[in-house]
Amino acid sequence: MTGTTAPGALLIIGGGASGVILACHLLRRPEVDIRITLIERREQVGRGLAYSTDHPGHLLNVRAHSMSMFADDPEHFSRWLRHGDGPTDGGIDGFHFAQRSRYAHYLRHTLEQLAGAGDRFRRVEGECQALVETEAGVEARLADGSRHAGTTAFLAVGYDAPVSAVSVDEVVPDDTVLIRGTGLGMVDLFIALAARRHRGPIIALSRRGQLPQVHRQSAALPIDAAGVPFGAEMSQTLGWVRRLVRDAREQGRDWRDVVDGLRPHSQKLWQSWSVAQRRRFLTHLRPWWDSHRHRTAPQIAQVVEEALASGKLTVIAGRIAGEEAAAGRLRVAVRQRGSGAVRIVDVDRCFDCTGVSCHPLGSNPVLRDLVSRGGARPDALGLGLDVAGDGAVVGRDGRVSPRVYGVGPVTRAALWEITAVPDIRLQCAAMVERHLRRA
């Protein structure tokens, strides 16, 4: 076994954006006596699912100003882009959308800088298969048989990576491609196909056919918490948001100001709803919220708009009513939204970009193991781990763990808005403060 269970021996499982941001928040407190062991199965930390792409056309969907790891130093990432390690991005302003691969580099580089040469940080490459609470603390068991002990563990294991049957490299330029999903994942795939000079038709399909909205220069509307209808029925909440948008427009502002202005309240709104209300939100409002809240960079939106105008990309609102193999192709029957008419499309390649899951009974061995031994359970809506408001993992019997915490999207059952860096960095800052008070 490696490591000790001395106070302040922290295990972080998962070295994507959440794990790295948490480690950096801890390391930037030099006065604190901690030893961090970061366990990541990928070769490189900082990539995770979101930032593992090296495609130059895959840009961040959040402006540079909001992508700093530290909310109290919002220019940290922009400064790094100007002066950091490697090639510098020219012309950076707050409204810059950097390449996602640059963001992975920023995460890695900042971690290296803060970790320095001391013994406060140790990276272990390997897959964690079990996390066991012991008398003294918690122990991570890895696929290679090694064990790592700590006083507290943070599960930053993120998304269950989607298993796609085909890779973009297998697509022939004249293939007809069907993409299920019309969100940011579809846009990523379309950008990758377009860069390969794809010639065949690309069809994107989702229930509502709603594409992500585009970013514009906007300034979050200040919204007083006293006016937020916490706990109200969905229709009442929606009416309130509509009124805010109408009033904002009358003042010459944009709906984006309202959506961004809701951000400081969205986690509390989510927490104020019953399970039934949350379910209604997920069923009826989520597609609208996601497309307005998670927007694309203007340059990406322009490529998509041009493809729509030229017919290279077609978006259909509807559902797949049936599919069958026919002469080496796939014949898909799509029942169109509204008319109910069935449209037949013959496709060569089909991709699933309907979204990512954080369900603990997916393919991640550490979560499956934790659930099977009763140390964790899925939340009532299947969004992720059942966790308390501070991220503490809730076991099968409802016991709140004093030693195991979730970080990042795995905690979305409790917070909902915890997928993007502006939310993750606040969660990490709060977790570090709470941890230091407890220690």
Ligand X SMILES: Cc1cc2nc3c(=O)[nH]c(=O)nc-3n(C[C@H](O)[C@H](O)[C@H](O)COP(=O)(O)OP(=O)(O)OC[C@H]3O[C@@H](n4cnc5c(N)ncnc54)[C@H](O)[C@@H]3O)c2cc1C
**Interface with ligand X (CB under 6 A):** 13-19, 39-42, 48-50, 60-62, 127-128, 156-159, 188, 356, 364-366, 408-409, 419-421
Cβ-based nearer residue to ligand X, 60 or 413: 60
Cα separation, 146 vs 148, whole angstroms: 7
Cβ-based nearer residue to ligand X, 186 or 244: 186
Cα separation, 246 vs 256, whole angstroms: 12
> Which residue type does 76 have?
H
Cβ distance 15 to 160 under 8 Å?
no
Q: Beta strands 202-206 and 329-336: pairing type?
A: unpaired
Ordered alpha helix ranges (H), 45-198 = 76-83, 100-115, 184-195
Cβ-based nearer residue to ligand X, 148 or 245: 148
Cβ-based nearer residue to ligand X, 137 or 212: 212
Minimal distance, residue 330 CB to ligand X, in Å: 25
Cβ-based nearer residue to ligand X, 61 or 237: 61
Residues 6+ apart with CB under 8 A from 141: 128, 129, 130, 131, 132, 147
Minimal distance, residue 326 CB to ligand X, in Å: 32
For ligand X, the nearest residue by Cβ is 158
Cα 249 to the chain's mean position, in Å?
30
User: What DSSP element (H or E) covers 139?
Assistant: strand 138-142
Cβ-based nearer residue to ligand X, 286 or 329: 286
User: What DSSP element (H or E) covers 131?
Assistant: strand 128-133
DSSP string for residues in 296-351: BPHHHHHHHHHHHHHTSEEEEEEEEEEEEEETTEEEEEEEETTT--EEEEEESEEE
Cβ-based nearer residue to ligand X, 49 or 361: 49
User: What DSSP element (H or E) covers 12?
Assistant: strand 9-13
